[in-house]
Amino acid sequence: MTASRPVGLEALFTPAFAQPAGSPIRELFPYLGRPGMISFAGGYPSPSLFDVAGLQQAAAQALGDAAAALQYGPTEGQPLLREALLELCTQRGLAARPAELLVTTGSQQAFDLLVRVLVQPGDTVLVEAPAYPAALQALRLAGARIAELPMDGDGLRTDTLAERLAQWATEGRRPKLLYTVPSFSNPRGSLLPLERRRQLVALAQAYGFLVIEDDPYGELRFSDEVLPTLHRLGHDAFGADHPVVYLSSLSKTVAPALRVGWMLAPEALVRRCAIAKQTVDLCTSPLAQLVAAHYLRSGRYPATVAAARTEYRARALAMADALSARLGDRLQWQRPAGGMFLWLQATAAVDAQRLFAAAVAQGVLFVPGAAFFQSPPADLALRLSFAAPDLAQIQEGVARLARAFELAASA
Ligand code: PMP
């Protein structure tokens, strides 16, 4: 036997993992456990909205068929859940055929599978800026060339997109994908207007790239106005060969712990994502899928979503009012029309690190805006989630944030 020698671990990492940079949001976790901390950081649903009685009933039903619930299941998903999700898609006005549906372990996995199947190092992928950090992270790990597109209060600037695409076409450059959260974006909270939706889908069709429409928040609207999904508009305009892939999730409306999400995509893409999923987790937990299926079949889902809309609207208003009262001169923002987030932009220079440290010391957490960019701009921005804290915590948390601003400015 030869003498043992240490493995040169550093030399073994793939280039994507050579410089570890975890999710900036998940790295806030250690602060969450501090006693008395008020968190506006994660996109966590309110625990008070979890329908525990309904989920207990659904779990009992799921375990009633233990041979299915406790066994491995098909990679494409449990038939009972697939049926319930197709029904939910139909209610959302989506044209969905069974062969176009893949159940995933959260919608996060759906995005990751798409990236595995579609993105090679150097491929151009368009994202809105600011964008959901975990999507940026998946793209970085895949070696994508990330091209950021500006947003305004209405979301993605499709006019800028049109200009960029025309310019690239003259250089022979073509993006492969565009990732967007058109309804109540994370982090901006914006809702893309109908005309921009139409333009986006038409541009994708004209220039031959896929749009990944990520829609975990669409049902959490604060008014009764419903805009058609990009998937629906694509289908209406171009038929079955349209360029939109739709992702959604039960995380924000039922419970993130279920880890149930799904993808609607052309059959050829679903088939390949299912193959990728076989190597990742074989199948999404059948127990969780059957709990979700029985929950959706129980008829309780609409009331659960309605309760979330009412509660989140009240919390968003409370947060916006508290911010107006205490930080109106330092920050600007737009009242969200749905979802879980407020995006704040500083009106004067503030040191982001100093502010974050002061906020932690005061006992309030937020996500610094830089987390949402590939190339962060100099101006300070903050994302606050109003979903999980109750009204008293919102008042107190905003008061602490205001003190943190004072401390950061005077330090
Ligand atoms: N997309 C967006 C825009 C999100 O905000 C989130 C959750 N924060 C996800 C996807 C992932 O959700 P899931 O729990 O379904 O994986």
For the stretch 261-286, pLDDT in tens is 999 999 999 999 999 999 999 999 99
411 C-alpha to ligand 1 centroid (Å): 36
The reply to whether omega before 45 is within 30° of 0 (cis) is no
pLDDT at 1 > cutoff 60: no
Burial-class residue 172 by CB neighbours within 10 Å (0-12, 13-18, 19+). Answer: exposed
The predicted pLDDT at position 33 comes to: 83
Query: Does an H or E element contain 278, and which?
Result: helix 267-280
Given ligand 1 and candidates 44, 85, 132, which is best to mutate, with the most ligand atoms within 8 Å of its CB?
Answer: 132
**Separation CA 211–CA 234 (nearest Å):** 10
Tell me the pLDDT band of 32, cut-offs 50, 70 and 90: confident
Q: Which residue spans within 8-144 are E strands per DSSP?
A: 38-39, 101-105, 124-129
* Residue 252 burial class via C-beta count within 10 angstroms: exposed 0-12, middle 13-18, buried 19 and up: buried
Does 98 score more than 60 pLDDT? yes
Q: What is the pLDDT of residue 136?
A: 96
- pLDDT at position 23, please? 67
pLDDT at 403: 97
Beta-bridge partner residues of 248: 262
Cα of 256 from ligand 1 centre, angstroms:
9
Ligand 1 centre from 216 Cα, in Å? 6
Query: How far, in Å, CA of 373 to CA of 136, rounded?
Result: 8
The whole-number average pLDDT for the span 193-207 is 98
Q: Has residue 308 got a pLDDT over 80?
A: yes
* pLDDT average, residue stretch 129-142: 96
Atom 7 of ligand 1: nearest residue by CA position: 43
Ligand 1, atom 5: nearest CA belongs to which residue? 186
Q: What is the pLDDT of residue 24?
A: 67
CA of 255 to the centre of ligand 1 (A): 12
Residue 207 or 378, more confident: 207
CA of 107 to the centre of ligand 1 (A): 6
Please answer whether residues 229 and 94 qualify as being in contact, where contact means their C-beta atoms are separated by less than 8 angstroms: yes
Share of the chain above pLDDT 90, in %: 87
Measure 329 CA to ligand 1 centroid, in angstroms. Answer: 32
C-alpha 403/C-alpha 392 separation (Å) is 17
Residue 411: band (very low, low, confident or very high) from pLDDT cuts 50, 70, 90: low
Question: Ligand 1: which of 26, 85, 105, 107 to mutate, most ligand atoms within 8 Å of CB?
Answer: 107
Cβ-based neighbours of 1, under 8 Å, separated by 6 or more: none
pLDDT of residue 267: 96
Does 133 have pLDDT greater than 60?
yes
Ligand 1, pocket residues at CB < 6 Å: 43, 106-108, 132, 181, 186, 214, 216, 249, 251, 256, 261
Which ligand 1 atom sits closest to the C-alpha of 108?
Answer: 16
Which atom of ligand 1 is closest in space to residue 261's alpha carbon? 15
The number of the ligand 1 atom at minimal distance from the alpha carbon of 248 is 15
Asked if the model's pLDDT at residue 115 lies above 60, the reply is yes
Say how many Å lie between the CA of residue 401 and the centre of ligand 1. Answer: 26
C-alpha span between 28 and 21 (Å, rounded): 13
Distance 154 CA to ligand 1 centre (A): 20
Residue 127 vs residue 351, higher pLDDT: 127
> Predicted ipTM?
0.99
CA nearest neighbour of 104 among 83, 78, 127, 136: 78
Specify the ligand 1 atom closest to the Cα of 250: 15
Average pLDDT in the 84-98 region? 96
Cα–Cα distance between 284 and 103 in angstroms, integer? 7
Residue 349 pLDDT > 90: no
| Residues linked to residue 151 through DSSP beta bridges, in sequence order | 156
CA distances, 205 to each of 171, 213, 228 (Å): 19, 14, 17
Average pLDDT of the chain to the nearest whole number: 95
